Amino acid sequence: MFSGSIVALVTPFKDGEVDYEALAGLIEFQIGNGTDVILPCGTTGESATLSHEEHDRIVEFVIEKVGGRVPVIAGSGSNCTREALRLTRHAREAGADGALLITPYCNKPTQRGLYLHFEQVAKEVDIPIVLYNVPGRTGISIAPETVASLAKIPNIVAIKEASGNLEQVSQIISRCDIAVLSGDDSLTFPIMALGGKGVVSVVANILPGAVAEMVSSFLEKDFEGSRTMHYELYEMSRALFIETNPIPVKAALAMMGKIREEYRLPLCRLGDDSRAKLEKLLKDYELI
């Protein structure tokens, strides 16, 4: 379950509310094109602007619609340990196969504080946990030593590494056997070459089959085929971060006719220059 192509699913909105009809369509699009795992309510799902009620309902809805066809890992992190506990308990009760917990943001805990945060959630909620390290968004990074200590807790089983630092990845893998997942689409192939097991992907929202093929080719030891796919996806991997994620990927999905281009402030619509570049690339990839 904690390997392969894991889509960091967007949350579609319609007139300010969650668009469950569009969400159901996205789920079918993913499963029909070979995505291994679906992950709602992560950063790409705009979890920071969801109410608790919306967050809970989206997790429940995705699990219901997936119906056991692929695993579901629910985003359940917070910068408040009590809130992360509640969200993670709900994910388990709803039937999620795992939970993704981001490092606490804004309050910038020490490494000891990070350890105690994840330890408490892991010990109080019996569900497989994926750590999520994204210092560019949170202002704090989990040190490899801390990851190695957390990996001794039985239900902390993986880490989504979005530091952009291959040295960090090497140190984690050399210190423990936790499953490392790329958190940066453009670095999936290099991270897997270091021993990573897959990706939590933004690009998979629009190119699920291609991302799944790249990852599965590597896991099946077709390294040349996987490298070829890496370069085929590379330009798109960069383009979907031309502005803050998930602005470009939601714009792309809207151009493809799968969702409305709607965000919650403080995220806003893609700028005109970025839109022109993204539209051209989508045409080059024959997506529109």
Whether 132 is catalytic is: yes
**pTM score of the predicted model:** 0.95
Alpha-carbon distance of 265 to 38, in angstroms, equals: 25
In this structure, what DSSP letter does residue 163 have?
Answer: S
- Predicted local confidence at residue 228, as pLDDT: 97
Domains of the chain: 4-220 (3.20.20.70)
CA distances from 99 to 66, 71, 85, 190, 206 (A): 16, 11, 11, 25, 23
β-sheet with 37-39: strand ranges across = 37-39, 4-8, 198-201, 179-182, 156-161, 129-133, 98-102, 73-75
- Predicted local confidence at residue 35, as pLDDT: 98
User: In the chain, where do the E strands start and end?
Assistant: 4-8, 13-14, 17-18, 37-39, 73-75, 98-102, 129-133, 156-161, 179-182, 198-201
With a cut of 70, list the residues of the chain below it in pLDDT: none
Question: pLDDT by residue (tens digit) across 129-180?
Answer: 999 999 999 999 999 999 999 999 999 999 999 999 999 999 999 999 999 9
Q: Which of 65, 132, 197, 263 is catalytic?
A: 132
- Predicted local confidence at residue 36, as pLDDT: 98
How wide is the angle at C-alpha 114 spanned by C-alphas 113 and 119, nearest 5°? 100
Which helix (DSSP H) or strand (DSSP E) does residue 205 occupy? none
Q: Is the peptide bond before 246 cis (omega within 30 degrees of 0)?
A: yes
Whether 231 is catalytic is: no
Alpha-carbon distance of 116 to 92, in angstroms, equals: 20
Q: Which of 65, 160, 197, 250 is catalytic?
A: 160
